[in-house]
Chains A and B, each alone.
Chain A
Amino acid sequence: MISNKTLRSIVLVAFCLVSVLGTAVFAASDAERVIRPLYILTRPQASSPDEFESATLIANAMKEVGIDARVKVMPWEQMADLVWYERTKWDMTGWQMTARPERLDPDEFTYNLFHSSTAETGYNFVGYINPAYDKVAEQQRVTVDPQKRKELIMKAQQIIADDAVYDFLVHQKIGIVYNNQVFAPDSIKEMAGLGIKNFWTYIYATPVGAQKSMILNSNDTVQAVNPFYISGTVDSWVTELIWDRLMRMGIDGLPKPWAAESVKWIADDQVKVVLRKGMKWHDGKPVTAEDVKFSFEAPMTGEVPMYKPFVSIIDKIDIVNVNTLIFKLKKPWAAFETACLAKINIVPRHIWEPILKDLQQKPENAESYQEKVPVGSGPFKFGSWKFSEEIVLEANKSHFQAPKIEKWICRFIPNMEATLGMIQNGEINFLATYVGDPQLLEQKVKADPKLTMVSSVDLGYRFFAMNLRRPPFNDVAFRRAVLALTDRWLIVDAVWKGFAVPADSVVSPALEFWKNKNLNYPEGGVEEAKKLLKAAGYEWDRKGRLMYPKGKKEELAPAF
């Protein structure tokens, strides 16, 4: 017989054991639920102070809700390699999209960045998969009617905000400075989303004094001057000026006929183009419809891989008469004018046909071919190119839109501080590139009456991308909390010193027509973030560390 006393002891010991074990089990499952340290990738402070400081601010805000967020610094080349080619191995990364004329149409940002088809190897490196979004992105592509398309673009912006795909930061204000004693101020043209550094300024800029050339700066050099190679930034400024295109992006951000006298949609998938009469190549030969057809067909071959995506929609091109062509598309494409007609350089067939034929026998393609003297039909002719130093273009006085300046000279100046001195002492008269402190630039301009600064909201934007393939970023509630924690106004003031506006979508406020101004975008700081997390079942352990909702545990090791 067991005595009562013994029984009581056994029960007591059993109870103690159960409670100790229970606590241990509970504690273990708690520890497993704590979210691992999350790493925010950024470029170094020295090369990208804004990105680094924003990352620090976001990490600090995340810490306030119990997330062990850490800033991880990497050079751009290493970071891009990791983000792009090792898509499951990072948590969050700083990123940016830059302004380019063809991005004035929202298609590229709407489709290529978020469509599920680009998730595996394309630009949807965050891994966003949403069939409902895919449908909207596809529809806007084929909706030629602007009003109907606008509704779709608005809807796409709202879905991206609702799903908190990107943690948007800002659209930068681009401050470009020119010498008002060299150029008449009303001849400097501001373009929506691109500022005054644009094609139209180069065409219309009118010298008022003895200096007849525009001397501008870039911190990058020219890699190649080739109408079939998309390479560096300056290369694209140069090709835009030497080679004509059927259309050009106008000052209002919409495509306008250029080398084409008219561009008419004769069906949803057919465009009739009438070529301007009397155009000549820089070598004196006339520009013909054959040249135009050749220019659009060349990228369809394997010899011009970079331009291929822009012409792959074309089914065939018919020449109706000497100056009329009809483009037949495989299916309607709303951005056709912007992304194709205003993008493809028109090249002389008599020069490039033999070159391409010759290249077919070789491993190289058209991208590696450098003409000694590039020949286009554009408003500027190739002048000279001093490697690593400068490129000079000369005005084509017989062009239908001949520039007012005599030469366009781009100097490659890696020393940003020196460019400030150069614009002041007249060594350059158009400060096209400036990546230094915007406040300092503003002060210099204010102190010098011959300088004028035009500040415009950029088409491009900065953001932090979250890896949707990796928990907890696969949970929309968690992502919305991160967005709420990102104080974009603080970033505008503290990081950008006011030279930026907060961003909430891929469409810049500079594009009034396409911008969804009534976006419902997560915000509200720490309190709101905590509310969102709590509602989604997230909890905090005794040390205040954020844990996954019950039933989930951390399965990933820290990224670094």
Chain B
Amino acid sequence: MRVNWKFFAKRFGQMLLTLWIIATILFFIFRLMPGNPLVAYIDPTFTQEQQEILMRQFGLDKPLWQQYFVYLGNLLQGEFGDSFFYKDSVVDVVSKVLPNTLYLMLLSLVVAYVIGVLGGIVLAWRRGEKIETVGIVFTLFTRAAPQFWVGMILLAVFSFKLNWFPSGGSSPAGVVYSSELAKLLSPSFWHHLFLPALTLAIYLLGLPLLLMRSSMLDVLGEAYVDMAMMRGLSERRVMFKYAARNAALPVVTAMAVGVGYAVGGNVVVETVFSWPGLGRLLVKAVSASDYPLSQGAFILIAAVMVFMNFVADILYSLLDPRVSLDGRG
């Protein structure tokens, strides 16, 4: 394949522009929102002097435009500032919970897409049969069921009734893993991860399944599939090798975007299972008006999403040569 550098440069420029716009919107949106970071400190012993010290410390004593340029300047140097409440750098705070979020989101994403794609193939192939009706109703049900409700049911059954799984956190009380690798190798970590990942996978399943099914149905009408059948190839071979491969295109794009979304975590599942992830941290940061933390975390999420969109574009062209990178295909 010929690499089109001009196209890359153009897309890269667009990415930077998008990020700058996002950074600007983020800066103003949090400051325009009702609320005030000092509110967290309101106390009978809270003095005027302390209020002024805090404003100075937070850099909120300067005019807004000045704050904005300081912020942009810092961003260019990769500096996100310190969280108002955790008193630690935003990157450090986020990196403490980001791995947990990624484990949870990626595991459930992979499970959902593997089952979803296979399910979609089967449902399309068995069109009109009973299994299709049951399958679609079930999928719509999993997609429509609120995540907190599914989570609570799983907790009630598998955790509190059967006692098979722990009900919260990423490790048993008092256990400290020596490293991230030790954590990943520990069975108890996976034991804790199971229920939240299952809850999320149940929710995520619907999209790839329905997408794959409808895409398969399109492909199944194509002449080359009939041709393959006529050549006497096995059903399985036609289903996977000929039809599914071509039908997978929109699913791949959806998954790439899904990975982008995954970085933001999932506040509902994290709250239900007390999972120490980014979603919970973000909600807290936004409601407490912790501007640096909310801005930094959202910029990070935006950057990953913009990048994953870019990746999706490229994957698309790799999988379907008819789509060219310069958009003229």
Contact = CB atoms under 8 A, between A and B. Distances in A.
Nearest to A232: B85
A440 B2 CA distance: 67
Contacts, number: 157
B171 A368 contact: no
B51 A121 contact: yes
Contacts of B272: 415, 418
B287 A386 contact: no
Contacts of A121: 47-48, 51
Contacts of A412: 274, 276
B162 to A, nearest CB: 10
Interface stretch (A74-82, A135-143, A269-277): A74-82
Interface string B251-279: 00000000000000000000111101100
A122 B280 contact: no
A363 interface: yes
Given A81-B39, A365-B57, A418 B45 contact: no
A215 interface: yes
Contact of A108 (B45, B48, B173, B271): B45
Interface in A434-472: none
A77 B97 contact: no
Interface stretch (B62-70, B106-114, B151-159, B226-234): B151-159
A351 B113 CA distance: 53
Interface string A400-427: 0000000101011111011001101101
Interface residues of B, number: 54
Interface in A163-192: none
Nearest to B56: A363
Given A112-B45, A121-B51, A392-B174, A85 B36 contact: yes
Contacts of A414: 271, 274, 280
Given A389-B170, A427-B167, A413 B46 contact: no
A237 interface: no
A384 B176 contact: yes
Nearest to B271: A414
18 contacts: A80-B36, A81-B39, A82-B34, A84-B36, A84-B42, A97-B44, A215-B173, A230-B43, A305-B54, A365-B53, A367-B87, A368-B82, A386-B276, A409-B173, A411-B168, A415-B272, A418-B274, A422-B167
Interface in B7-46: 34-36, 38-39, 41-46
A392 B46 CA distance: 30
Nearest to A113: B44
Interface string B93-129: 1001100000000000000000000000000000000
Contact of A122 (B46, B159, B163): B46
Task: Indicate the member of B169, B274, B280 with the most A CB atoms within 10 Å.
Answer: B274
Contacts of B170: 386, 389
A508 B43 CA distance: 19
Contacts of B49: 305, 308
Given A388-B281, A415-B274, A77 B287 contact: yes
B133 interface: no
A411 B87 contact: no
Given A389-B276, A424-B160, A109 B35 contact: no
A239 to B, nearest CB: 14
Closest 5 A/B residue pairs (Cβ) = A388-B276, A112-B44, A421-B160, A77-B35, A78-B34
B158 to A, nearest CB: 11
A302 B35 CA distance: 27
B156 A213 contact: no
B315 interface: no
A99 to B, nearest CB: 13
Given A85-B36, A122-B48, A224-B86, A411 B173 contact: yes
**Contact count band on A:** 35 or more
A308 B168 CA distance: 39
B265 to A, nearest CB: 11
B79 interface: no
A310 interface: yes
B173 A213 contact: yes
B166 interface: yes
Interface in A93-121: 97, 108-109, 112-113, 118, 120-121
Interface of B: 34-36, 38-39, 41-51, 53-54, 57, 82, 85-88, 93, 96-97, 152, 155-156, 159-160, 163, 166-171, 173-174, 176, 271-274, 276-277, 280-281, 284, 287-289
Nearest to B53: A305
Contacts of B97: 387-388
A390 B168 CA distance: 11
Interface string A356-377: 0000000111011110000000
Given A310-B45, A388-B97, A422-B167, A81 B35 contact: yes
B96 A109 contact: no
A441 to B, nearest CB: 15
Contacts of B281: 388
Contacts of A108: 44-45
A120 B155 CA distance: 50
A101 to B, nearest CB: 14
Contacts of B169: 389-390, 411, 413
A372 to B, nearest CB: 12
A380 interface: no
B222 to A, nearest CB: 49
A89 to B, nearest CB: 12
A421 B163 CA distance: 10
Contacts of B276: 386-389, 412
A294 B275 CA distance: 41
Interface string A290-315: 00000000000010011011100000
Given A364-B57, A388-B280, A422 B176 contact: no
Nearest to A214: B173
A473 interface: no
Contacts of A81: 34-36, 39
A223 B86 contact: yes
A221 B288 CA distance: 13
A123 interface: yes
Contact of B85 (A223, A387, A389, A417): A223
B297 to A, nearest CB: 13
B39 A80 contact: yes
A412 B170 CA distance: 11
A224 B87 contact: yes
A90 interface: no
A386 B271 CA distance: 16
A9 interface: no
A253 to B, nearest CB: 18
A417 B86 contact: no
Contacts of B93: 387
B105 to A, nearest CB: 16
Task: Indicate the member of A82, A118, A427 with the most B CB atoms within 10 Å.
Answer: A427
Contacts of B48: 120-122
A392 B281 CA distance: 20
A229 interface: yes
Contacts of B271: 414-415
Nearest to B287: A77
Nearest to A111: B44
A386 B176 contact: yes
A150 B38 CA distance: 35
A309 B85 contact: no
A147 interface: no
B44 A427 contact: no
B167 A229 contact: no
A421 B289 contact: no
Interface string A493-514: 0000000000000000000000
A93 to B, nearest CB: 13
